A = this chain, B = another copy of it.
Amino acid sequence: MSETINASTVRSKTSRMSSDKLAEIEQLLARRREGFSLEAPFYTDTQLFQFDTEAIFGQHWLFAASIAELPEPGDYVTVDYGPYSLIVLHNDDGGINVLHNVCRHRGARIMNQSSGTTGNLVCGYHSWTYSPEGELIYASIPGEMDFNKQCFALRRAHSRVVAGLIFVCLAEEPPEDFDHVSQIFEPYVAPHELTKTKVAYQQDLIEGANWKLVMENNRECYHCDGHPELLCSYFPTYGLTEDLVPPHLEEAWERSIQAEDVLRQRCQRYGLPYEEIEELDTRVVGIRIARDALDGEGESFSVDGRRLSKKLLGDLPDFRLGRCSMHLQPNSWFHFLSDHAITFAVFPIGVDRTLVRTTWLVADDAVEGVDYDLQQLTHTWEQTNTQDQELVELAQRGISSPVYEQGPYMRSEYQVEAFINWYIQRAREYMP
């Protein structure tokens, strides 16, 4: 784990919103009804969206990209969280610098591509040039005598890289428990050696829904009948407990119990962590991580559960390792398998528009067409994402009706409620 501490971060906890609006939001937060979905303004009010960009995206650790998206020194990606734009740059020391994508001269966006390779960072407007650390090193200013370039470095954000996953934080003082949480998940993720993977495919979906609806949708499988491809590898009893299994699923239940037993023993044999850890709303960096068996061959997200890439990730000893799934608040989830990994990052665009970026990673020596078929590799989650897009857009449209009222969460939706609990706590903490 590499760490970057930045002296010149920007955001303080002072809201740019009017005190009237903050008071209105405080009332909405105060009358939150436990066990029920949020009131409509949380999903439809543009000022509440601005609040979210401040209180959630401006204050917390956010997943940005995996190292496979910028493998070489000089590689960069740009990511936008609402109105914020960041350059995530692989520096010459192998570390990651995160810089606000705003020139200090007249405010132009510096890097206008979603990814690329660069040496210094040159603004396209007047060629102000910054080092990869963000220092202003060149500005063609004939005769400008009293100009102190040191005062005009790019604004930086905090960043951490854990097991090949890059996280950023825009707050001046990031939440402290990230270290603890990264110690939780690093042993699960590290064996998949994401630093030795490459991007097989990346899908950007712009969904017509508030970012919280996108997250809520990810946090339950109560709607998974709408995901026939995914249900090939998930057990049909997924989410049930023994007392709830209906007669026609008893056989599947037995099959899943056996598969979990075998997987647990296999993990113990290989020294791979297995147990579920769940702290979704009990800490500032909310997390859930667990390893679950898959149906069929139990190797990957395919129709029959068989591997989708012939190359194992890292030094993993076996293809039959199910899925190691991680969920982080507020904007990401992940599936780490033996043959590939998938990262999901959520970037809010507007009150009812959200970018969901899905990235498929395979071993860096896997050859497309030989070791894996790209269409097969991505099929299950491309379909699942498109189905989810339709579902969250139905939710956004329905909630926009004046007659919408808060509905009850079911037991199988407890992780949705945990997300909402986490959100409400963070929002309350942000209040002055």
Contacts and interface: CB of A to CB of B under 8 A. Distances in A.
Interface of A: 10-11, 16, 37, 40, 53-54, 58, 83-85, 100-110, 112, 124-127, 139-144, 147, 152, 155, 216, 222-223, 225-226, 240-241, 243-244, 246, 390-391, 394-395, 397-405, 407-408, 410-412
Contacts of A105: 407-408
Given A222-B126, A407-B105, A240 B142 contact: yes
A407 B142 contact: no
21 contacts: A11-B402, A40-B107, A54-B402, A83-B400, A83-B402, A85-B401, A102-B398, A103-B407, A107-B398, A107-B399, A108-B397, A109-B397, A112-B394, A124-B390, A124-B394, A125-B391, A125-B395, A127-B225, A144-B411, A147-B410, A155-B403
Given A58-B402, A142-B411, 7 more contacts: A10-B403, A101-B401, A105-B408, A109-B394, A143-B243, A143-B244, A147-B410
Contacts of A412: 141-142
Task: Tell me whether chain A's interface is mostly helix, strand or loop, or mixed.
Answer: loop
Given A152-B407, A402-B58, A403-B155, A37 B125 contact: no
A108 B223 CA distance: 12
A84 B402 contact: yes
B226 A107 contact: no
Contacts of A226: 124-125
Contacts of A139: 410
B243 A107 contact: no
Contacts of A103: 398, 407
B104 A410 contact: no
A47 to B, nearest CB: 13
Contacts of A244: 142-143
Given A394-B109, A398-B107, A241 B407 contact: no
A378 to B, nearest CB: 24
A82 to B, nearest CB: 9
A106 B397 contact: no
A256 to B, nearest CB: 15
A401 B83 contact: yes
A239 to B, nearest CB: 8
Contacts of A398: 85, 101-103, 107-110
A305 to B, nearest CB: 24
Nearest to A249: B142
A141 B410 contact: yes
Nearest to A84: B401
A366 B56 CA distance: 62
B403 A108 contact: no
A180 to B, nearest CB: 28
Contacts of A127: 225
A139 B400 CA distance: 23
A327 to B, nearest CB: 19
A44 to B, nearest CB: 9
3 shortest A-B CB distances, which residue pairs?
A142-B244, A109-B398, A107-B399
